[in-house]
Structure 1
Amino acid sequence: MSLTLTRRGFLAGTAGMIALHPFSVRAAANQAHLRIMETTDLHVHVFPYDYYADRPTDQVGLSRTADLINGIRAEATNALLLDNGDFLQGNPMGDYIAYERGMKEGDTHPIIAAMNTLGYDASTLGNHEFNYGLDFLVKSLAGANFPVVCANIAKSLGASPREDETFLPPYVIVEREIVDGAGNSHPIRIGFIGFVPPQVMTWDRRHLEGNVAARDILEAARAWVPQMREEGADIVIALSHSGIGAADASDGMENASVPLAAVEGIDAILTGHNHLVFPSSAFAELAGVDIEKGTLMGTPATMGGFWGSHMGLIDLMLERDGAGWRVLSHVSEARPIYKRNEDRTTTALAEDVPAVLAAAQMEHDETLAYVRRAVGKTDAPLHSYFALVADDPSVQIVSNAQVWYIAQMMAGTEHEGLPILSAAAPFKAGGRGGPEYYTDVAAGDVAIKNVADLYLYPNTVRAVRITGATVKDWLERSAGMFNQIDVGAQDAPLLNPDFPSYNFDVIDGVEYQIDLSQPSKFDNKGNPINPEANRIVNLMFDGQPIDPAQEFIVATNNYRASGGGNFPGANDSTVVFDGPDTNRDVIVRYIVEKGTVSPRADGNWRFAPVDGATVIFETGPNGAAYAAEVPGVSIEEAGMADTGFARFRISL
């Protein structure tokens, strides 16, 4: 049985009542305007709500994207709605369903229930669909009223992709009725094929090893797309949960969408995984990418942001000939659900669709209770009042979690056995945020929403491989946080006000001192200004002076590893692991796994003595309660500043 493409009974006869897209206006007999809508990387964001901050937000939510979807359907006679993967995991609602409620036979996952209300035509798997294991995935997909396809994950591999026993159908060909410019209906066969990064076999090794195997994306596409054409697909749409990256193909590419778009037989490609928007200037310099035309290798493409922030859209003008349908022209875009104002506030550009909210209302309420109750305990306070002057528990727990995670990711790789260090910086450390802008979680219960205090940004975990010499320079860059202090100086200002706290990386796993009598080796932007300076002294690893030639794995985040802050050794050339998980999710998993965490700062860094000198720094007044416990430094109160900050003195 065939269905009209609108899936809402919209017929050409109503066209005069609404504003139509130019393609619909221009379409002649035997020509049809087809709109392809994409959501991608929803990560369980049904509601416009930040569960970590425990407050509403205009920046996320399928309930808002749904408003755009409904609007698009009203603008043309033929429309498809597709999802590009990473819908099942990625916020506390996903964790609540997986770890607390579970999925019994017959249960419907809330994100699936919400998607069902919108009438999706198809979806593919993202890498995060595997995070909770295959049994959970199968039970979740059972509730979908739409096909889910994936061509490069197999229960068993054959001699060629076509001989694989795929985990899900590699593709699906659906029969639809499409309305042409004269108002006549015609049959059309549309094929959807899906792909996921083969790196899932590393990222979710514990769930997948011995159960499934992954093929290279391009290898799978080159085998299956011709078969789809042989079976009569008029149009083939690739659902590529793979980012926009290099144009030159290589085995096992994670971000393979550009060469994938060049595979003969693919008419349009939906991308994701990057958590970016296409077309946009983010991809302006890449080979094979045309952001003006919205194409990859000449093929129409889109990427709809993440968490429901955008809806990707490809408009195709199709023409019917003796051989079926072909693409005459196209337009690609990504429509946002909000805009960011000059004053950093946001304005909503879409409203909630009540049916989408209703589909997950019960689970939303249960998730709120979940994030507000304890998921673990800490046996020491988690505060950041002294994070800029001494080793600190709020940074320590981040480092502990990053090392725990990266150790698992390095297992079975060529990097296994190398020592793992962790670089982490304090985010809530006063400054422009004011005297209350600090992490402060008492010993005892830790709730999920407390993790937002520990890690403000939705960064993802990465790891770099660098030498001991580069570790030292990384720390030299961090030490720009401090002013140079002369011997005998009295109450000199300690902190460089132009140096952001998020660039003050502490590297855990080594021990070191910072000699403030030396000038900074780098300026505030990371450019060398005093090449011979050596603020980092007594740098030790495993009780011995660090070997400049020894190699280390350093756990960090995507911002730092991709060059953010301009740190020595932190760039794309040194990255050996680009994780799919956010640092915040890793911290939550770490707390859940450990039950009780011990984030006491281990005092692995401190200031070197500077004869007769004292320095002054400011922090939140509530820090006074913890001053006596700060490791490696003697701190005394020095009055209040006019700004509401408390002043403290350190004798160097």
Structure 2
Amino acid sequence: MTAFPISPAPEPGPPETLRLRVLQTTDVHGHILPFDYHANTANHSGGLARIASLVTQARTDAGHENCLLLDTGDFLQGTPLSDLTPLPGQGWRGRNPVLRAMNLMGYDAATLGNHEFNFGLDGLHRALVQARFPLTCANAILHPGEQPDQDQTLLPPYLILSRRMRDTTGRWHVLRIGLLGLLPPQIMSWDHAHLSGRLSTRDMVETARAWLPVVRAAGADLVIVMAHSGIDPGPDHPMMENATRALARLPGIDAILAGHSHKRFPDPEHAATPGADIARATLHGMPCIKAGFAGSHLGQLDLTLSRTEGKWQVIGHQARLIPTAGTPPDQRLVRALSAAHVHTLRVTDRVLGHVTAPLHSYLAQARNDPGTQLVNDAQRRALAKALAGTQYAALPLLSASAPFKTGGRGGPGHYTDIPEGPLRLRNITDLYGFPNTLCGLIVTGEQLHDWLERAVICFHRITPGAACQMLLDPGVPGHDFDVIDGLSYTIDLTQPARFDLDGHLLDPSARRIRSLCHAGHPIADGDRFVIATNSYRAWGGGPFAALAETALIHLDSRPVRDLVADYVTQRGTLVPKARATWSFAPMARTVVMIETGPGVRAYPSDITDLGATDLGDSKMGFARLRLTLPLMAQPQDFLPDTDSCES
């Protein structure tokens, strides 16, 4: 028998390698065109029109076929172009400007954020039927099942996009990309009036854990989680609002696109966050990006995939956040939205009344603020009218509101600044930018104490006699600083905060609110009041208790913004005055600092009235003011509503 040599098996070729470029927008909040409708002037950064130019370049660099453009929510609400023009009754007959822009840009998919629900489910449906791209959300539920993967969801719980893409040698492959959308379950509180009885939510981590195997079993080569959720450094807990770190530890995910908190990732701000690697753009080893808000940045996540034995795996990644500042807007998009832009200008230019002095929010957390006072006056008048002739009409009527634009994550230009003269609808949308509705609640004196303790967590604890202490905690948004009109009280900053940002009790012995009075008399725990507030706050938005669950006596169908506009129209001419509702408790000559918008320098008398010294700008462009506690007396036009009292 003749023996024949056995030929060796052919050596396997090199692994197939493919590069997928994922482009992300998040929290655009209706910022589309290069125009500030509140200030009625062009702006120089942010917005989808600028992002569209960056997307075109990114697609050109990587190859259009190897790119995905995805949005992680909060795109429908935030500017007059998005909030007024598309609504019924405004005379606009064209397409929703936000969806028009996103369609033109060729989005591949999106998920929902909490603000998509601000106009109700019917309004959301009217907008989304115009989208020429698919949407996904796994934890907004029409009919719950026994397990998350048995739920009937508002939108498809996941998507699988089949895309023909080129590998590094030029060969074509079909890549199946699974997308799982998630949003904060707190939408049921924040938009309770719109959603109660029509929708429910589940925990994001629980939902993802159930659906990820389903997405893989449906044939996904890789899975990207699109989570409208921020990055919470604290321990995990059920129904987290900012659950990205917990999601990053789940098996079966290849990358996460996050959002909601308006912060960026990777960014030095998260350097101390457990599990965060800023240099590698990972959370617990998971590639993750979060592209700011209002179109400030385009997120770009380049994933390198290798296929061995028929299976694609992510073997590397690179991430960057590309700022839009200085980028020219995409003129095709600008032209396409020109009619909507002109219509928005016409709507917002309507004169409602006149104001005899400027209204600005630069000092709204350092003094009684006329802008906040205007909103409180409008709320009180509207609720008084609604309750006239009812059993509640005889109870003392209060109103709670907060300054909405106080810098923070929005930067040094994120302040209300309304000049003396005609008061237009655009000024009202600047003063009150959210479509919340008016609520009336029955509250006790004890609940008022609790409400205000939660409102004043925005201040740092101050050491008497020390110098150069920061007054405001930058981690607490200014819109949590509720001022309750109709009361008088002092804030003792030597005390620690009683609550944290999630409303959890930190220190049962801490009491910052002192001398709480109504009509010159100390308030007892059992005293009863009616209070006007917005629907977001009434159902527990921010660190506040959801009092509306048991204390709601009135729910208005119209946004507070419209009620403020009515109030201005009825009054005609307004003389801005803030009553002496609150003050800081005296302490030995103590120096504090605040950072505010540089626009405050247009009002030198306001700086002087506080006894403040201008120290120039911070590295981030905020004006730095030094103040000595106790502050100097308020200006004479800040008229007290009640007598002072001691408790």
The TM-score bracket by the shorter chain reads: 0.5 to 0.7
CA distance in 2, matches of 1:63, 1:215: 35
Q: In 1, are the aligned partners of 2:578 and 2:637 still within 8 Å (CA)?
A: no
Is 1:360 matched with 2:337? Answer: yes
Is 1:449 matched with 2:427? Answer: yes
| Residues 219 and 360 (structure 1), Cα distance of their counterparts in 2 relative to 1, 3 Å cut | same
Shift of 1:297: 2.1
TM-score by length of 2: 0.66
Q: 1:397 maps to what in 2?
A: 374
Q: 1:591 maps to what in 2?
A: 564
Which of 247, 251, 254 is the matching residue for 1:260? Answer: 247
Q: In 2, are the aligned partners of 1:85 and 1:123 still within 8 Å (CA)?
A: yes
CA distance in 1, matches of 2:452, 2:94: 52
CA distance in 2, matches of 1:70, 1:306: 20
Which of 370, 373, 388 is the matching residue for 2:350? Answer: 373
Which of 158, 175, 178 is the matching residue for 2:165? Answer: 178
Q: In 2, are the aligned partners of 1:512 and 1:538 still within 8 Å (CA)?
A: yes
Q: 1:9 maps to what in 2?
A: none
Shift of 1:450: 5.4
Shift of 1:368: 1.3
SS in 2 for 1:58: coil
| Residues 189 and 506 (structure 1), Cα distance of their counterparts in 2 relative to 1, 3 Å cut | closer
Shift of 1:385: 10
Which of 217, 232, 239 is the matching residue for 1:245? Answer: 232
Which of 33, 39, 53 is the matching residue for 2:19? Answer: 33
CA distance in 2, matches of 1:133, 1:242: 21
| Residues 191 and 499 (structure 1), Cα distance of their counterparts in 2 relative to 1, 3 Å cut | closer
Aligned residue runs from structure 1 range 330-349, under 5 A: 330-338=317-325, 348=326
| Residues 233 and 250 (structure 1), Cα distance of their counterparts in 2 relative to 1, 3 Å cut | same
| Range with greater deviation from structure 2 (466-475 or 165-174) | 466-475
| Residues 184 and 282 (structure 1), Cα distance of their counterparts in 2 relative to 1, 3 Å cut | same
| Range with greater deviation from structure 2 (32-41 or 542-551) | 542-551
Aligned residue runs from structure 1 range 32-111, under 5 A: 32-77=18-63, 78-100=66-88, 108-111=95-98
| Aligned AA (1:332) | A
| Residues 171 and 551 (structure 1), Cα distance of their counterparts in 2 relative to 1, 3 Å cut | farther
Is 1:118 matched with 2:105? Answer: yes
| Residues 465 and 119 (structure 1), Cα distance of their counterparts in 2 relative to 1, 3 Å cut | farther
* 1:14-70 per-position Cα deviation (integer Å, ceiling 9, x unaligned): xxxxxxxxxxxxx97610111100011111211011111111111221110111111
Q: 1:155 maps to what in 2?
A: 142
Q: 1:566 maps to what in 2?
A: none
SS in 2 for 1:97: coil
SS in 2 for 1:397: helix
SS in 2 for 1:72: helix
Aligned residue runs from structure 1 range 107-506, under 5 A: 108-246=95-233, 248-338=235-325, 348=326, 350-374=327-351, 383=358, 393-400=370-377, 421-422=400-401, 439-441=418-420, 446-449=424-427, 452=430, 467=449
Q: 1:492 maps to what in 2?
A: none
| Aligned AA (1:61) | G
Q: In 1, are the aligned partners of 2:428 and 2:564 still within 8 Å (CA)?
A: no
| Residues 472 and 164 (structure 1), Cα distance of their counterparts in 2 relative to 1, 3 Å cut | closer
Q: In 2, are the aligned partners of 1:225 and 1:265 still within 8 Å (CA)?
A: yes
| Residues 404 and 67 (structure 1), Cα distance of their counterparts in 2 relative to 1, 3 Å cut | farther
| Aligned AA (2:561) | V
- Count of residue pairs the alignment pairs up: 504
| Aligned AA (1:152) | N
CA distance in 2, matches of 1:619, 1:456: 27
| Aligned AA (2:257) | L
| Residues 331 and 425 (structure 1), Cα distance of their counterparts in 2 relative to 1, 3 Å cut | closer
CA distance in 2, matches of 1:281, 1:309: 17
Q: In 1, are the aligned partners of 2:306 and 2:315 still within 8 Å (CA)?
A: yes
CA distance in 1, matches of 2:381, 2:273: 35
The 4+ residue runs of structure 1 with deviation greater than 6 A are: 385-392, 401-407, 417-420, 425-428, 468-475, 520-523, 548-557, 597-600, 627-630
CA distance in 2, matches of 1:152, 1:141: 18
| Range with greater deviation from structure 2 (546-555 or 308-317) | 546-555
Shift of 1:262: 1.8
Shift of 1:369: 1.3
Shift of 1:99: 3.2
SS in 2 for 1:134: helix
| Residues 102 and 287 (structure 1), Cα distance of their counterparts in 2 relative to 1, 3 Å cut | farther
Which blocks of at least 5 consecutive residues in structure 1 are unaligned? 1-26, 339-347, 408-416, 458-463, 481-497, 515-519, 527-535, 558-571, 578-584, 608-616, 634-652
Aligned residue runs from structure 1 range 538-557, under 5 A: 539-541=516-518, 543-546=520-523
Identical counterparts, % of pairs:
34
| Aligned AA (1:631) | L
Q: In 2, are the aligned partners of 1:109 and 1:140 still within 8 Å (CA)?
A: yes
Q: In 2, are the aligned partners of 1:46 and 1:356 still within 8 Å (CA)?
A: no
CA distance in 1, matches of 2:485, 2:404: 14
* 1:535-564 per-position Cα deviation (integer Å, ceiling 9, x unaligned): x9975235422469999999999xxxxxxx
* 1:267-299 per-position Cα deviation (integer Å, ceiling 9, x unaligned): 111011111111001222211222121112211
* 1:216-275 per-position Cα deviation (integer Å, ceiling 9, x unaligned): 111211111110100110011111111111464321111111111222111111011111
* 1:56-96 per-position Cα deviation (integer Å, ceiling 9, x unaligned): 11122111011111111122232111111111111111122
TM-score by length of 1: 0.65
| Residues 595 and 150 (structure 1), Cα distance of their counterparts in 2 relative to 1, 3 Å cut | farther
Which blocks of at least 5 consecutive residues in structure 2 are unaligned? 1-12, 385-395, 435-445, 463-469, 473-477, 498-512, 535-541, 547-557, 584-602, 610-634, 642-647
Shift of 1:103: 10
Q: In 1, are the aligned partners of 2:378 and 2:567 still within 8 Å (CA)?
A: no
| Residues 381 and 303 (structure 1), Cα distance of their counterparts in 2 relative to 1, 3 Å cut | same
Which of 496, 509, 530 is the matching residue for 2:485? Answer: 509
* 1:502-539 per-position Cα deviation (integer Å, ceiling 9, x unaligned): 99x9944354499xxxxx9879xx9xxxxxxxxx9975
CA distance in 2, matches of 1:447, 1:321: 61
Q: In 2, are the aligned partners of 1:39 and 1:304 still within 8 Å (CA)?
A: yes
| Residues 221 and 108 (structure 1), Cα distance of their counterparts in 2 relative to 1, 3 Å cut | same
| Aligned AA (1:62) | L
| Residues 466 and 75 (structure 1), Cα distance of their counterparts in 2 relative to 1, 3 Å cut | farther
SS in 2 for 1:81: strand
CA distance in 2, matches of 1:540, 1:243: 39
Aligned residue runs from structure 1 range 627-646, under 5 A: 631=639
| Aligned AA (1:448) | R
| Aligned AA (1:212) | L
| Aligned AA (1:189) | R
SS in 1 for 2:176: strand
